[in-house]
Amino acid sequence: MKNIKAILFDAYGTLFDVNSAAEKCKDKIGNKWEGFANYWRTTQLEYTWLRSLMNRHKDFWKITEDSLDKSMKAFNIDNSMKNELLDLYKVLSPFKEVSEVLLSLKEKKYKLAILSNGTPSLLKELVKSNNLENIFDDLFSIEQVGTYKPSPKVYDMPISKYKIKKEEVVFLSANTWDVSGGGNYGYNSIWVNRNNSIFDNLDYKPKNEIKNLNQLLDII
């Protein structure tokens, strides 16, 4: 890829492991922890899309809590664990290669930013808790436009701020619908396929598919 000026990352599932909160409680939750974590994530995303369609916006933290309530009921998890799980969600663990790859990209003088459904305060805490606060030029939150991905309004924020062309941006996400959202907007979207998944049919083919962020360094 040539003439790339900015590299944008989705946060949840791409840089940070959304299952890590439940995994840290697996001794209490038991063998169902992974199914519970996946259900929580799926419900969380469904709520963002449904609320966008209904024009009934709630911020991502409130949606995270609402989706947790449903998930705990579905998996018969005692409500006494709610606050612990929410606190752990604020400080999700990054995937193991993230820090090293980001430092390498920073040295190459790219603009680096997160583009996420997360609230500004959530993103700040997430980055700070993982010692990444000096890496990113910006933390773009959908709260700036009041609607969730994959609305084009979300993907337009970095373009408006940086005054660059869409084709000068690389966007990475582990979520196929997010890759398609950014790609259909005009980004060079790369799919971080960490789990050997199948790509959705949403009128976009990723520019590249990688298994982890280390492989990005071979492309950029």
Q: Would you give per-residue pLDDT tens digits along the chain (220 residues)?
A: 789 999 999 999 999 999 999 999 999 999 999 999 999 999 999 999 999 999 999 999 999 999 999 999 999 999 999 999 999 999 999 999 999 999 999 999 999 999 999 999 999 999 999 999 999 999 999 999 999 999 999 999 999 999 999 999 999 999 999 999 999 999 999 999 999 999 999 999 999 999 999 999 999 8
The pTM score is 0.95
By CB atoms closer than 10 A (0-12, 13-18, 19+), residue 55 is: exposed
CB 88 within 8 A of CB 21: yes
Domains in the chain (CATH in brackets) are 6-17+94-218 (3.40.50.1000), 20-89 (1.10.150.240)
Q: List the 169-173 sheet strands across, edge first.
A: 138-141, 111-116, 6-9, 169-173, 188-192, 208-210
Q: How far apart are CA 65 and CA 54, in angstroms?
A: 19
SS3 182: helix
pLDDT on residue 146: 96
Choosing from 10, 27, 66, 87, the catalytic residue is 10
From the number of C-beta atoms within 10 Å of its C-beta (0-12, 13-18, 19+), residue 86 rates as middle
* Active site annotation includes 10: yes
What sign has the CA pseudo-torsion 86, 126, 149, 171? negative
